[in-house]
């Protein structure tokens, strides 16, 4: 029943008079201070707890405990006074996204982690997002959302956020970005934190350039904050201005530590993208010779991405990427299967049959072995008919 | 007071439903797809959603509990989210990949886990059978069975989903029987 009335409750919530809060809301000073919440803020806080629960129950979280621990430790280094309140979790989504809930829960998509180059960049993202929590931006932004434009925006974009978040106002502004002033405040606070920890802010802020470049190519409708080209361009500009006032250049990037902690994420990311039928990002990232070496099995995933995209010339591109994998030792079973499919579609029946036979030899118990046997049977039957005709 | 409110609600709901006949009890098992393009035998006693214009959709206990639907979509009609199209020459694994990608692109199915995909005869041709699972935001697990095949005139998909606990195993045979009854001519 609660579910049935949820939309009406939400509308009623919007229709309420503005809270009595006057003037700017001071930021939280530390974990203890988060207990002293304003009455209206309390509701937003508990709504966030519901979002946390929904994300957990729906299986939306990415299962990598070592990564969780690494991210949590980094977040606590950035904001040590909020230890015990800020919590870091990874969402099993391949897209570019990270957001903070008003109760201190921070989420980052596995896809965003997989695109980063070093810990300085990761710290830049987390420091920016946590600043939204510390400065209570969700609560402040709530006033702006009460207007009709805000309502239309929230309802209009709700469908793209994720089942668990649909209709959750607590998550909305963090997912889609705050006002320019609040984003700039998060830039400033986040920037101070990464400089204080000795990170290379130049390398760190390059994250926004990287993401802006990809966002431009993807051109998604209703882009979330980290996939919004204009908002990312603003971050690039904002960090340049902040950097101009800082004398120190250089600092730590902690590339090795980062690459080690996130290797599983980079291995899983292309699979998650392609499972959603989205080969664009995979092709963009793995075609880049400077970046792709960091991705386990990049040649296979690039070949798969070309096959899934299926544009003119993609079959040849896929074959070019995958053929070396079929000729190496030990052989790469999935590459044999994908090559077999490509050759079968191209009419190279003998080539396809040979690849399928080898696949079944090296991976007889593969989950798709029954299909490959079926395709091989069709090819052999077709070959026999061809021989008979001759 | 409470019973009066309930009575008013039921009366209002009934007057709406009677006007548009959204639900139809399946008494005669043979149901026709749009334009009589195909026919299936649905389980007697289940309920059909008459307003479903894409194909045939039935349930036994309510769509939150279980639902089964049949769709035959022209190959050139794009899938709404991935914007992909199918073709008559598609292999069963390719079609399965396409359908799963579309499902995963919807927020409610983003965390869909495919348990198994196997070859299956669908409408007398080589197709696929896929079993998957997904959880909603309350943690309730739903199991999904999909059968699909690329026919000359379109992609034919049989979809069944039900609460995993009890309902999926109980109603899967009825769904599979419905899938096997697919034909392009009404039975004599």
pLDDT by residue for chain A (390 residues), tens digit each? 333 333 333 333 333 334 445 457 899 999 999 999 888 888 888 888 988 999 999 999 999 999 999 999 999 999 999 999 999 999 999 988 899 999 999 999 999 999 999 999 999 999 999 999 999 988 777 655 544 333 333 333 333 334 444 445 445 556 667 888 889 999 999 999 999 999 999 999 899 998 888 888 887 766 677 778 888 889 999 998 998 888 777 899 999 999 999 999 999 999 999 999 999 999 999 999 999 999 999 999 999 999 999 999 999 999 999 999 999 878 899 999 999 999 999 999 999 999 999 999 999 999 999 999 999 999 999 877 666 665
* A162 close to B (CB below 8 A): yes
Q: Do B91 and A163 touch (CB under 8 A)?
A: no
* A282 close to B (CB below 8 A): no
Q: Do A161 and B107 touch (CB under 8 A)?
A: yes
Min Cα separation B31/chain A (Å)? 31
Q: Which residues of B touch A175 (CB under 8 A)?
A: none
Q: Which residue has the higher pLDDT, B116 or A176?
A: B116
Mean pLDDT of chain B: 90
* A161 close to B (CB below 8 A): yes
Is residue A97 within 8 A of residue A227, CB to CB? The reply is yes
Question: pLDDT digit string (tens) for A323-356?
Answer: 999 998 788 999 999 999 999 999 999 999 999 9
Q: Which residues of A touch B102 (CB under 8 A)?
A: 277
Secondary structure string (H, E, C) spanning chain B: CHHHHHHHHHHHHHHHHHHHCCEEECCCCEEECHHHCCEEECCCCCEEECCCCCEEEEECCCCCCEEEEEEEECCCCCCCCCCCCCCCCCCHHHHHHHHHHHHHCCHHHCCCEEEEEEEEEECCEEEEEEEEEEECCCCCEEEEEEEEEEECCEEEEEEEEEEHHHHHHHHHHHHHHHHHCCECCCCC
What is the side-by-side strand order in the sheet with B47-49?
Answer: B23-25, B47-49, B55-59, B66-73, B154-163, B141-151, B125-135, B113-122
Question: pLDDT digit string (tens) for B10-52?
Answer: 545 544 444 455 889 999 999 999 999 999 999 999 999 988 8
- Pairwise CA distance, residues B181 & A34, whole Å: 62
The pLDDT, as a whole number, for residue A387 is 65
pTM value is: 0.85
Q: Which residues of A touch B89 (CB under 8 A)?
A: 345
Q: Which residues of A touch B98 (CB under 8 A)?
A: 277
Min Cα separation B52/chain A (Å)? 21
Which candidate from B84, B94, B107 shows the least CB-CB separation from A162?
B107
The pLDDT, as a whole number, for residue A11 is 34
Question: pLDDT digit string (tens) for A105-138?
Answer: 999 999 999 999 999 999 999 999 999 999 998 8
Where do runs of H (alpha helix) occur along chain A? 2-15, 39-57, 65-78, 110-115, 119-134, 137-145, 148-157, 169-176, 180-196, 201-218, 229-244, 255-261, 263-275, 280-286, 289-292, 298-309, 314-327, 333-345, 349-362, 369-389
Q: Which residue of B has its CA nearest to A55?
A: B137
Residue that has been written with the tokens 């209009």 in this structure: A156
């Amino acid at each position: 029943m609660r579910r049935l009335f949820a939309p009406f409750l939400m509308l009623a919530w919007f229709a309420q008079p503005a809270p009595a809060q006057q003037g700017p809301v001071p930021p939280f000073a530390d974990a203890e201070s988060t207990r002293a919440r304003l009455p209206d803020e309390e509701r937003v806080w508990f709504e966030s707890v519901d979002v946390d629960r929904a994300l957990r129950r729906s299986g939306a979280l990415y299962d990598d405990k070592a990564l969780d621990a690494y991210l949590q430790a980094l977040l606590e280094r950035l904001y040590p006074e909020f230890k015990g309140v800020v919590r870091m979790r990874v969402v099993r989504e391949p897209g570019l996204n990270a957001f903070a809930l008003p109760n201190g829960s921070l989420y980052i998509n596995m896809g965003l982690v997989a695109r980063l180059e070093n810990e300085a960049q990761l710290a830049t993202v987390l420091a920016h997002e946590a600043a939204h929590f510390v400065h209570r931006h969700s609560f402040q932004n709530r006033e702006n959302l009460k207007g009709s434009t805000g309502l239309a925006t929230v309802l209009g974009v709700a469908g793209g956020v994720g089942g668990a978040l649909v209709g959750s106002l607590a998550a909305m502004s963090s997912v889609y970005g705050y006002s320019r002033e609040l984003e700039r405040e998060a830039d400033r606070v986040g920037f101070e934190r990464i400089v204080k920890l000795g990170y290379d802010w130049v390398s760190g802020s390059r994250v926004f350039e990287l993401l802006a470049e990809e966002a431009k190519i993807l051109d998604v409708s209703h882009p979330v904050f980290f996939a919004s080209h204009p908002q990312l361009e603003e971050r690039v500009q904002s960090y340049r201005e902040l950097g101009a006032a800082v004398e120190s250049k250089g600092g730590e990037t902690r590339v090795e530590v980062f690459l080690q902690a996130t290797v599983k994420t980079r291995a899983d990311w292309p699979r998650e993208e392609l499972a959603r039928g989205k080969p664009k990002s995979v092709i963009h990232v793995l075609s880049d010779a400077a970046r792709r070496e960091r991705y386990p099995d990049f040649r296979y995933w690039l070949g798969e991405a070309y096959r899934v995209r299926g544009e003119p010339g993609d079959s040849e591109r896929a074959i070019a990427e995958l053929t070396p994998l079929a000729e190496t030792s030990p052989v790469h079973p999935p590459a044999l299967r994908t090559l077999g499919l490509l050759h079968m579609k191209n009419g190279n029946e003998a080539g396809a049959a040979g690849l399928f036979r080898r696949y079944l030899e090296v991976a007889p118990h593969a989950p798709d072995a029954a299909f490959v046997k079926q395709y091989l049977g069709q090819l052999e039957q077709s070959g026999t008919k061809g021989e008979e005709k001759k | 007071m409470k019973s009066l409110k309930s009575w008013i609600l039921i009366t209002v709901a009934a007057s709406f439903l009677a006007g548009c006949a959204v639900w139809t009890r399946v008494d005669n098992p043979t149901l026709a797809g749009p334009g009589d393009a195909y026919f299936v035998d649905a389980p007697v006693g289940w309920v059909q959603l008459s307003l479903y214009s894409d194909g045939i959709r039935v349930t036994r206990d309510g769509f939150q509990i279980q639902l089964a639907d049949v769709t035959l979509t022209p190959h050139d009609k794009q899938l709404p989210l991935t914007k992909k199209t199918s073709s008559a020459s598609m292999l069963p694994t390719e079609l399965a990949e396409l359908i799963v990608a579309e499902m995963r692109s919807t927020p409610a199915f983003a965390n869909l886990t495919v348990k198994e995909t196997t070859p299956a005869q669908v409408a007398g041709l080589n197709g696929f059978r896929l079993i998957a699972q997904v959880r909603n935001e309350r943690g309730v697990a739903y199991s999904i069975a999909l059968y699909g095949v690329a026919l000359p005139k379109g992609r034919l998909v049989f979809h069944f989903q039900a609460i995993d606990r009890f309902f999926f195993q109980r109603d899967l045979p009825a769904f599979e029987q419905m899938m096997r009854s697919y034909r392009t001519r009404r039975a004599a």
